Amino acid sequence: TAPARDRLRIAIQKNGRLAEPARSLLTACGLSWRQSRDKLFCYGESLPVDLLLVRDDDIPGLIADGVCDFGIVGRNELDEQGAARRRIGLPDAYQALRGLNFGQCRLMLAVPEEWEWSGVEQLAGKRIATSYPAILADWLAARGVDAQVVELSGSVEIAPRLGTADLICDLVSSGATLAANQLKPVETLLESEAVLAGPVKTPDDARAGLMAMLLRRLDGVVKVRDSKLLMFRAAQDRVSELTRLLPDADPLVQLPDDGGHLRLQTMCHGALTWQRLEDLERAGAQGLMVLSVERSLA
Ligand code: ATP
Ligand code: MG
């Protein structure tokens, strides 16, 4: 077991898709750092929470080895390394503690556009290029499909054209990369997003309290980040129709009224487009106001 520590260490990606959103999420949780010169280690100033800036591939291992207490990494990377550990008989050493609602993508099978896709049986005897060999092997095994996994560390999408594989298993967000390589997605292996990863067992020193506090702050930011506080006035007989138009909102809360109309508010978790506000107005909402929510304590 790792020695006791009284400062928390969080690993995040140094450069790449998750680097900036991970940092800004932690900043929203009240953390700040003195930037070190080599920028690999950032010393925590507002709280005893330091940052380690690394390649995302290193994050699961840093948690497994007890070097870092938390990490922000794609579920895809965490699951792949977890599956790889299990395949060689190692115990689980980390877990995804929270989904963070950014970095969304899917791990998908994609085949040449001209293929007629009829199902997984079609994969028998085929070569599949991927950077996620353990997830793919587990997925194939679970379906009893005997295909060959070709591990590549990058540029997976050109493997079919190069003839090194028949199809691929790779991360997809918009699908533009697939289309540019004359591939089409056919099966989803994993829905991924950035997660907060932590150890299976919480350390029993000063870090435990810090970890609990950080988790609570994270929940207070992530849950409300994309929510809006909606306020308006309406006549009593309009309330049921307005409620119907807000299926993605909490139950309406009535505020002390200002004579005549009710004053109502609710937290809405879906997008409040202009179109929706205009629909609400037509249904009897007056003086609509949409407010961003920054943080909350449940
Ligand atoms: P590093 O240098 O840290 O190893 P990387 O090249 O492995 O970086 P990025 O391309 O920055 O990683 O992607 C980081 C994570 O972003 C992915 O593991 C995945 O969880 C997420 N992600 C979201 N959309 C995509 C996408 N379209 N392609 C690849 N990753 C995506
Ligand atoms: Mg990487």
Please determine, for residue 208, whether its predicted confidence score (pLDDT) is greater than 80: yes
What DSSP state is assigned to residue 25? Answer: H
CB 282 less than 6 A from any atom of ligand 1: no
pLDDT higher than threshold 60 for residue 1 = no
For residue 54, give the ligand nearest its CA.
1
For 34-64, b where at least 16 C-beta lie within 10 A, e where not — what string?
eeeeeeeebebeebebbbbbbebebbbbbbb
- pLDDT of residue 2 exceeding 70: no
- What residues have a C-beta under 5 A from ligand 2, the ion? 56-57
With a threshold of 0.90, tell me whether the complex ipTM lies above it: yes
**DSSP bridge partners of 54:** 13
The residues, ordered by sequence, that sit 6+ positions from 190 with a Cβ below 8 Å of its Cβ are 75, 76, 79, 106, 107, 135
pLDDT at residue number 35? 80
Whether 13 is in the pocket of ligand 1, judged by its Cβ within 6 Å, is yes
User: So what's the pLDDT on residue 226?
Assistant: 85
Structure confidence at residue 298 (pLDDT):
75
Tell me the two tokens of residue 7: 């400062």
Q: Which two tokens stand for residue 86?
A: 């299990």
* Token pair in block for residue 198: 């932590």
* Sheet strands (E) in 87-223: 94-99, 105-112, 127-130, 148-151, 167-172, 183-192, 194-199
By mean pLDDT, which of 93-107, 111-125, 238-252, 254-268 is the weakest?
254-268
How big, in percent rounded to 5, are the helix, strand and coil portions of the chain?
30, 30, 35
